[in-house]
Amino acid sequence: MTLEQASKPWQAYSADELEYNYNPRASNPDSERYGEARTEINKAGLAWSGRTAGIAYGDGPLRNLDIYRPASSAGSLPVHIFIHGGYWRSREKEDFGFIGKALADQGLLGIVINYPLCPVVTLDEVVTANQQAFEWIFRNIADHGGDPARISISGHSAGAHLGAAIIASDWSGLDAAKPLRGAVLVSGIYDPAPTQHISVNAEIGITPEIAARQNYIAHPPRLDCPVHVIVGGGEPEGWIAQSADYARHIKSSGVPTEYTVTGTENHFSIQDQFCDPNADVLAAILKLA
């Protein structure tokens, strides 16, 4: 799907089609095998000597982050923040040690953040926690060897939505011309509205009001940093449309935007691209460093 092609509205899908297109585990019934294949590299990432774990960025459960420092570094380092997915209701930073280590291997000060999850909190509160994490990083990362003038972010799936929320937030209080150097948003869901009509909403609790507040295909971006929107070519049509619609939206708002449909990657295989500097995802991240 190109940005010139019109997307099929999610309202045009049947109930079964909605489940298939907007529930990645329905379109990838063997999804667990991807995480199992990364078990050893994830353990190695968590055991990395340059990892500082569990730094609080706010009060309350899961408001903390891990920092991954390169093996050899001098001076102030470029910073990259990874926001995990899990449809806002599952996963934790410890599942993504392999990404933190991969960032450090490329000379970046990698940060993997936790955040509170639905249904314990609402999606509104999930977004607020991620905004809080970003502000904490901007104000404090210099104390950990990072350069606050060189912060970039990426997010996968629901994490891409949370990255879009950061781009749409008002950061004038940070007193910085460009608090964010750029973003790489991967296989994201940017309008939560379809989620109201699939099985996972029993855990997430999206309402029409929440969906409207957290729809970043509708809300204007507040930052004009470069954004690279990447989606797997093996994703369902409706899921790819979310990326195309978001990229089209921010591009029309004047944001420097790249849009890539990458190979035949599905929702889970695409995470391997965070570890390969020749793959679209990590190459885009390194371009921002």
- Write down the pLDDT at residue 75: 86
What pLDDT digit, counting tens, does each position of 210-259 carry?
Answer: 999 999 999 999 999 999 999 999 999 999 999 999 999 999 999 999 99
Count structural domains, the chain.
Answer: 1
In a domain, 2, yes or no: no
Lowest mean pLDDT among 41-45, 158-162, 172-176, 256-260: 172-176
Comparing 73 with 191, the larger pLDDT belongs to 191
b/e burial code for range 259-285 (CB count within 10 A of at least 16 → b): bbbbeebbbbbbbbbbbeeebbbbebb
Give the pLDDT score at 73: 78
What percent of the chain is predicted at pLDDT more than 70?
A: 100
Q: What is the mean pLDDT of the chain?
A: 97
CA dist., res. 270 & res. 57, Å (int): 29
- Looking at residue 179, its pLDDT comes to 97
CATH value at residue 103: 3.40.50.1820
Query: What is the token pair recorded at 166?
Result: 């950061």
Structural domain containing residue 226: 10-288
The dihedral through the CA atoms of 28, 233, 156, 272 has a sign that is: positive
Residue 34, CA distances (Å) to 37, 54, 95, 172, 213 in order: 5, 25, 12, 40, 33
Given a cut of 90, whether residue 78 has pLDDT beyond it is yes
Q: What pLDDT is stored for residue 59 in this prediction? A: 96
Residue 3 counted as domain residue:
no
Domain assignment present for 148: yes
pLDDT, mean of residues 25-53: 97
Report whether pLDDT(151) > 90.
yes
pLDDT at 125 over 90: yes
Domain contains 73: yes
Looking at the domain assignment, is residue 185 inside a domain? yes
- CA distances, 53 to each of 57, 64, 147, 279 (Å): 12, 8, 19, 28
pLDDT at position 1 is: 78
Residue 23 belongs to a domain: yes
Residue 5 maps to a domain: no
Q: Which is higher by pLDDT, 75 or 80?
A: 80
Judge whether residue 164 has pLDDT over 90: yes
Q: Which of 72-81, 106-115, 243-252 has the lowest mean pLDDT?
A: 72-81
Q: What is the pLDDT of residues 263-278, one digit of tens each?
A: 999 999 999 999 999 9
| pLDDT above 90: percentage of residues in the chain | 96
